[in-house]
Structure 1
Amino acid sequence: MKNILVVNSSLSGDNGNSNKLTTKLVTRLKDEYKAVNVVERDLNTMVLPHLSMEEMVAWGTEKSTRTSAQAALATLSDTFIAELQQADALIIGMPMYNFGVPSTFKAWIDRVARAGITFKYTETGPQGLLSNKKVYVLAARGGKYVGTPKDSQSQYLKDVLSFIGLVDIEFVYVEGLAMGNESVESAWSFAEQELDRLTA
């Protein structure tokens, strides 16, 4: 493992529990693999706009014929995809907001899921074009939702990531963080054990 891409989206930044999880995993991976290059994307500080039709049109325009405005619009997607293509591992810090993923993360997904580049349609359905990448989803939640119908994140992430070819996914959850000190201590203890297992 040489290149790691970290994508965080917590509103609390470095104080966010999902960010703390990604930091812990990156530290362990650095210890294990020594010389690794880490690229970090804090989507919250970027204030990503919603995807627009103008931006999608810019993607479909040949680079040599793009206007300056189109080139600027296409830069975000082109950059995000290049970072993802170069990564051996993707680490996603995933807070839960109102039973969904952060809107900034959805905006990132909308820019990395591009037909003909990260997926394509075939006679048998869509085919992901990214492969041989490990994905770690580190999810922090105030309540406890794993294995219940209210865990809308996990299946969505499996679906959208596999859509672009990322199928080797590990989930680590730290849950019940708003349910008292005992719950918090238990949640972090379990998460630490899971991180140790993944990097053993």
Structure 2
Amino acid sequence: MFNRTFGYILAVALAAGLGLLAARHLLDRDAAPAGPALQTVTLLPQPRELPPFNLRQSDGTPLLPGELAGHWTLVFLGFTFCPDVCPTTLAELAGAQKEWESLPESVRPRVLFVSVDPERDTPAKAGEYARAFHPDSLAATADVPALEKFATSLGFVFMKVPGKTFDENPQDYSVDHSANIAVLDSQGRLAGLIRPPFQPQAIAADLSLLTTMERGQ
């Protein structure tokens, strides 16, 4: 059963991966001029509305599209058992969060960590993990179909990868996932992308600029 399921997931992931490559090519080719002030954010020509989604926040409440309105938001996929990329990225994002703490809380950019390992990460666990890096971080997760839909809308993919002892120990697995960061504007639309390596000061400067420009300052 697992082999059949895994084969299906792999096929879907490969197809999504091809779509992601095409999206990246389009982003590189048609990216709107960001101007010399934007150091690390690559903006889309036009922000894209996200399709309906329903994730579960760390406090148990639904995370719906309207919940992301009012703030620029950085979205990163990961999982709490991640040995390297996730903690490193969240630490770098925490550095950016510290940089923009002087902005008013009502418009301050936000970081949303979305766990793509719902089997081991409850919403509460994902929230505890994300807030260990910075107390302002948001966190959410959902079942796999909902996560796949949300990830695809951002141009991201993820896939469960069994470990050597998976047959004897079902908890022996990792999750491969996109390492980019999605940039959502204050209307909750996909506005751009940040690719690694991540530079906290540059991220903070770009998000602060985008926020203040929107406010007419």
Same fold per superposition (TM over 0.5): no
Q: Which fold has the larger relative contact order, with Cα–Cα distance below 8 Å and residues 6 or more apart in sequence?
A: 2
TM-score of the aligned structures, taking structure 2 as reference length: 0.29
TM-score of the aligned structures, taking structure 1 as reference length: 0.31
